[in-house]
Amino acid sequence: MDGTTIQTLLITFAMIGTLLMIGTLLRAYVKPLQKLFLPACVIGGLLALILGPKVLGILPIPDDVMTTASNLPGKLFSIVIATMPMCAQKRKKGELSGNFDAVNMGIIITLVAAVQVAIGFLVNILFQNGNSATYAGFGSEMFMGFCGGHGVGAMVGALFESQGAPYAQDALGVTMTFATIGMIGGILLGIYVLNRAARKGETKYIADPAKLPDEMKTGLYHSREEQPSAGRQTTAGGSIDTLGLHFGFIMMAVGLGYLIYFGIKALQIPFLKDMDVWLYSLLAMYIIWPIVRRLGFDRHFDAAIKSKISGAVTDFIVTAAIMSMPIEGVLAYWLPILVCSVLGFAFTVPLILILNRRYLQEDWLEKSMGPLGMMTGDFITGVLLTRMADPELKSSALPDFSIAYSINTVYCVTMLAVLYPFIVHFGAFHTLLFAIAQIVVLAIIAIVFGRFSKKRRG
């Protein structure tokens, strides 16, 4: 990497940083954006996309900057994924044994995720020979955009690219489109469900879902007294900065992941050689963190600081992915995207509401908001809708949702590793069968565990 390349990289980061600042200000002061709850990274990315050379051509973004931005998501994703096991503590024995609602929610969320994958590949097959024919790998984008949001959705291009798929950039653009549709549609549907339930007297903790704290609308805390701590300082300044310690540790895991990746590539180990490098960065952290915890060194790491690093990198990833989105490719697939979105909402929302009502012990409506938001937007959207349903957090909806999210994360990470090599090597039809098989297994698990938990609580 020469000086010019480094300069281009710095200019790209400077532009993304500026877009994030503009997005933050627009979210804080423009009412319609507050009502849509769009994150600053999405606002900034869309602004650059619309004003940039791909649409209006008003903002003269150099080609080398745009190329760098399009490559950032795939490279930076290893940082985000490597943070996942970091700061994890051992669960106490029997911690989940009596928490049937959380486990039921995790199973239901995972079942809905499999349904979304099946819908995507069914639409692919239906459109293969028409005027709006899809590319060969179309199908996972709605699941990635709806369930993973913009942060995870930004990785789809890199996942296909690692498999040598020629449609990687189109897939990235389509996924980011699904993420935007899902986030806006999910919030609007969630508010509709809550308003309807409030009118029927079915909500326990709210009278008006529209009454939210200002910071949730604007994205900013307006007084110093309201601002929570961003984390715990774990080092003395004379040695290393706390943020530097955390970031350096994460990058060490990423580096070990690359070593494992290059070793497997050199040995040409079947199947494993087709996995992307982020999986090995995740594996590296799973190896390193238990050692750190066993040595007692984990007291020098703070989960809140780790989350801030992951969140900041995700903001840059999302902005870069949206601003460099191949808009022409997205427009070419508008009809499959529309059909997928309609079917996605039509199955996702009723499935969550019906199954939660049937199998959850208490506060089924409040506990439905997290899964509904997550399966159409991301985890933060789920938290937002949960806060709307239970502003003072009087129920166990949010803690149960957090556990359910952790259960679903195991499925999603596995799917990220397995699904894309499977799509490229076996095609849409076999991937649809793969998804249907998962639906059958997960539906059986949901029914059996749901009935078991009902009997246990009498």
Q: Residue 131 pLDDT > 70, yes or no?
A: no
Give the Cα separation of 435 and 90 in Å (integer).
32
Of residues 375, 354, 369, the one with CA closest to residue 113? 375
* Confidence at 28, pLDDT banded by 50, 70, 90: very high
Q: Per-residue pLDDT averaged across 69-88, rounded?
A: 87
DSSP state at residue 91: P
The pLDDT of residue 219 is above 90: no
92 confidence band (pLDDT: 50, 70, 90): low
Whether residue 377 is predicted with pLDDT greater than 90 in this model: the reply is no
Mean of pLDDT values over 390-397: 82
> What's the rounded Cα separation, in Å, for the pair 152 and 131?
30
Cα gap 419→412, rounded to integer Å:
10
pLDDT, tens only, 295-304: 999 999 999 9
Average pLDDT over all residues of the chain: 88
pLDDT attached to residue 225 = 84
Distance, in Å, from the CA atom of 374 to the CA atom of 122, rounded to the nearest integer, reads 22
pLDDT, tens only, 221-244 = 888 888 888 889 999 878 999 999
Beta strands in 278-412 (DSSP E): none
Q: What is the pLDDT of residue 73?
A: 85
pLDDT of residue 208: 61
The answer to whether the CB of 234 falls within 8 A of the CB of 300 is: yes
pLDDT for the residue numbered 393 = 77
Render the burial of 295-328: b for 16+ CB within 10 Å, e for the rest.
eeebeebbeebbeebbeebbbbbbbbbbbbbbee
| Confidence tier at 410 by pLDDT (50, 70, 90) | confident
Burial label, 33 (beta-carbon count in 10 A; 0-12, 13-18, 19+): buried
Mean pLDDT for the stretch of residues 363-392: 86
- CA angle 206/375/48 to nearest 5° reads 100
Give 34 or 253, the one with higher predicted confidence: 253
pLDDT average, residue stretch 42-66: 92
Residues with Cβ within 8 Å of residue 367, at least 6 apart in sequence: 101, 105, 356, 360, 395, 396, 397, 400, 401
pLDDT of residue 454 exceeding 70: yes
Residues in the chain: 458
- Round to whole Å and give the CA distance between 87 and 301: 7
Q: Which of 105-119, 190-204, 267-281 has the highest mean pLDDT?
A: 105-119
**Span 153-177, average pLDDT:** 87
- Residue 25, pLDDT above cutoff 90: yes
The yes-or-no verdict on residue 329 having pLDDT over 80 is no
What does pTM read for this prediction? 0.79
**With 60 as the cut, is the pLDDT of residue 458 above it?**
no
Q: Provide the sign of the torsion angle of the four alpha carbons 409, 415, 418, 424, taken in this order.
A: negative
Query: In degrees to the nearest 10, what's the CA dihedral of 133, 139, 145, 146?
Result: 110
Residue 271 pLDDT greater than 80, yes or no: no
Q: Provide the H-helix boundaries in 62-136.
A: 63-82, 100-127
Quick: pLDDT tens for 337-361.
Answer: 999 999 999 999 999 999 999 999 8
